[in-house]
Structure 1
Amino acid sequence: MTTDFASRILDWFDHHGRHDLPWQQDTSPYRVWVSEIMLQQTQVKTVIPYYQRFLNAFPTVHELAAATEDEVLHLWTGLGYYARARNLHKAAKYVSEQLSGVFPDSLEALQELPGVGRSTAGAILSIAHGQRASILDGNVKRVLARFHAVEGWPGQRAVHDRLWDIAEQYTPAHRCADYTQAMMDLGATLCTRAAPRCEDCPLQADCAARSSGTQRDFPGRKPRKTLPVKETRLLMIRDARGDLLLEKRPASGIWGGLWCFPEAASLAPETACLDLTGHAPAKVEPWPGFRHTFSHYHLDIEPLLVEFAGETGLVMDADRQLWYNLRQPPQIGLAAPVVGLLAQLARHGQAKE
């Protein structure tokens, strides 16, 4: 069964798999590594334009290492899970400065790079180096859990270990790069969560979930829990020129390293502006609130447009604060809610000419 499993997967890949993805061209450890980090918890169609822009800006690990964090986060803005970008930048610096730009070629050494786990390391080894190495991303978990009807949520240690054992068992010694891509493709295009196309699957004859009609039961769902709700105010402070004040978030915590409007979670906006600038604003205009959801809580955001008629009196910290010009926006990483609010300001003619 083990050899037959890989053979069926590879035969399907030869005829139906994806062979023209950007990271499949001019394959190198650097290009595969960037793609694998971007593909963590993100669909291929979403990643492709980001990947292309990223590689155009940073075609080598040395150029990525030499970039500023703001330059990296700017190109990541909208892709989410920004810790990936910060880890990518840290790892690039390490590879460039400590390893002379040469990526490790062992599973253990790759996993020492920030943001690289066992599955990502396996993908780099198999696709870029042609080594026999297994992967277990979300797509592969779904294929294997259904094929063997593995009960339970893959986030549970016993289930996770069982799936790794199966993945290791089926990974072939030859054509491992194609097999790795084939398994990801199968899960992404046929063995999808919502609507699996079992009739086109090369594994259908022996799939335990299909034989019992329980495809949608596998893999098991993460236990539901009610997410807590937090609240904050974002102050869209605009000066007489029409520029907007942004502050850089701390490296840790939500939106780490990104630029955001100042928060005033517990203060009246007038009081917060006085504390920040030493002056009272000319106008405070409430905007419709909205909810931004993280993996572990909901954040209810109340935006307030705060206008100053003259100078704000703010003494700037150049590393932590800036005035954002909507007409000539700087190349910086922005928190997702800020991107939306800036777009509304521009779209509705809120920016002063």
Structure 2
Amino acid sequence: MRYSADAQDLLAWYDRHARVMPWRVSPTDRAAGIRPDPYAVWLSEVMLQQTTVAAVRDYFRRFTARWPGIRDLAAAEDAEVMGEWAGLGYYARARNLLKCARVVANDLNGRFPDTYDGLLALPGIGPYTAAAISSIAFDRAETVLDGNVERVMARLHDIHDPLPGSKPLLKEKAAALTPSVRPGDYAQAVMDLGATICTPKSPACGICPWRDPCAARAEGTAADLPRKMPKKAKPTRYGIVYLGRRADGAWLMERRPDKGLLGGMLGWPGTDWGEHVADTPPCPANWQDLGTEVRHTFTHFHLILTVKVADLPLGQSAGNGFFVEKTDFRPSDLPTVMRKAFDLARTA
């Protein structure tokens, strides 16, 4: 039974300082025999991919209030789930969320696999998420390696090889520390350590439970780690969105294709995004340029959108889009970039 002194020190720290999260079972409750809900662990881990805890909390609460179990989510309408996800970003996660929920509900009798390999076979679950769920929900001794853990391992072992090339070495170091006793608590503990003590800037080394064995602290290099390869400059793309409102208050809208950026999300008709843009409105109308721009940054590029608005007659054809009645339109269902355009048009 592997249970190193370092793991013991970290777990003792976690027992006192564990963050309180709506999806987490506290170490005290786990010790009393209360087990995590795999549905809650899975949902939170998918939401937390490339997203902060602060941003996820309210989304998690809304999702679990509306769809308290995996069968509830599996039975939900796609548009309702995509609308509830709006603003959280990385919308492929929401599409995969529904695919995974339906596989678990329909093919696995509503029960998540309790092993890394079984979880990895599900839609939208990659190596990190499979390790996190199997560890946190099922107490499997899997190695969890997110950005926080990478930073902790790089500093603990004073590893100067830059990311992403150093990932295999960092995972090897993390695996050597992962205990077979309380692996779920340990996984959350090492992530908490990176999020609250071993932070990217100004790490609080003086109060760290691993300050003594930390090689980077001894060498005075902690603040410089982990090293990363220089990022390439992001290109800028351009586009036009058209906000047309019918005389009865209905909005002309479209739903983006399932594949691609903002896939499956509600939005405004618009041009393709690229270096050069042709003005191609969705229907004939007196389209007026607001004279202002929407600026938004995605993972791989910056986007600048020109916003054009028009009043449309009652008999206007929707073309390739559709009209959303005034009473059914919810700006909160829009992804952030589309909501920015709406906010500009509303205040113009």
Taking structure 1 as the reference length, the TM-score comes to: 0.88
- Amino acid paired to 1:13: Y
Q: Could you tell me how far apart the structure 2 residues matched to 1:287 and 1:54 are?
A: 38
Question: Which ranges of 4 or more aligned residues in structure 1 deviate by more than 6 Å?
Answer: none
Q: CA deviation at 1:51?
A: 0.5
Equivalent in 136, 141, 144 of residue 135 of structure 1: 144
- Amino acid paired to 2:121: E
Q: Which runs of 5+ in 2 are unaligned?
A: 26-34
Establish whether residue 173 from structure 1 lines up as the match of residue 176 from structure 2. Answer: no
Equivalent in 227, 231, 239 of residue 238 of structure 2: 231
* Structure 1 residues 57 and 139, CA gap change in structure 2 (3 angstroms): same
- Amino acid paired to 2:182: R
- Amino acid paired to 2:194: G
Aligned twin of 1:144 = 153
Establish whether residue 242 from structure 1 lines up as the match of residue 249 from structure 2. Answer: yes
Q: Could you tell me how far apart the structure 1 residues matched to 2:140 and 2:286 are?
A: 65
- Amino acid paired to 1:217: D
* 1:56-67 alignment runs, 5 A limit: 56-67=65-76
Q: CA deviation at 1:180?
A: 1.1
Contact 2:3 2:180 in 1 (8 A): no
Moved more, 123-132 or 57-66: 123-132
- Amino acid paired to 2:314: E
RMSD: 2.1
SS at match of 2:237: strand
* Structure 1 residues 284 and 227, CA gap change in structure 2 (3 angstroms): same
Aligned twin of 2:30 = none
Aligned twin of 2:278 = 267
- Amino acid paired to 2:15: D
Q: Could you tell me how far apart the structure 1 residues matched to 2:113 and 2:332 are?
A: 31
Q: CA deviation at 1:333?
A: 4.2
Q: Which runs of 5+ in 1 are unaligned?
A: none
Aligned twin of 1:314 = 317
Q: CA deviation at 1:334?
A: 2.1
- Amino acid paired to 2:147: G
Establish whether residue 252 from structure 1 lines up as the match of residue 259 from structure 2. Answer: yes
Q: Could you tell me how far apart the structure 1 residues matched to 2:10 and 2:291 are?
A: 53
* Structure 1 residues 130 and 92, CA gap change in structure 2 (3 angstroms): same
Deviation by residue 1:313-349 (Cα, 9 ceiling, x = unmatched): 31456xxx33234554259842211122223444x3x
Aligned twin of 2:13 = 12
* Structure 1 residues 343 and 326, CA gap change in structure 2 (3 angstroms): farther
Contact 1:71 1:331 in 2 (8 A): no
Q: Could you tell me how far apart the structure 1 residues matched to 2:343 and 2:206 are?
A: 44
SS at match of 2:257: coil
Establish whether residue 211 from structure 1 lines up as the match of residue 218 from structure 2. Answer: yes
SS at match of 1:289: strand
Deviation by residue 1:98-133 (Cα, 9 ceiling, x = unmatched): 111111111111111122122211221121112212
Q: Could you tell me how far apart the structure 2 residues matched to 1:143 and 1:173 are?
A: 20
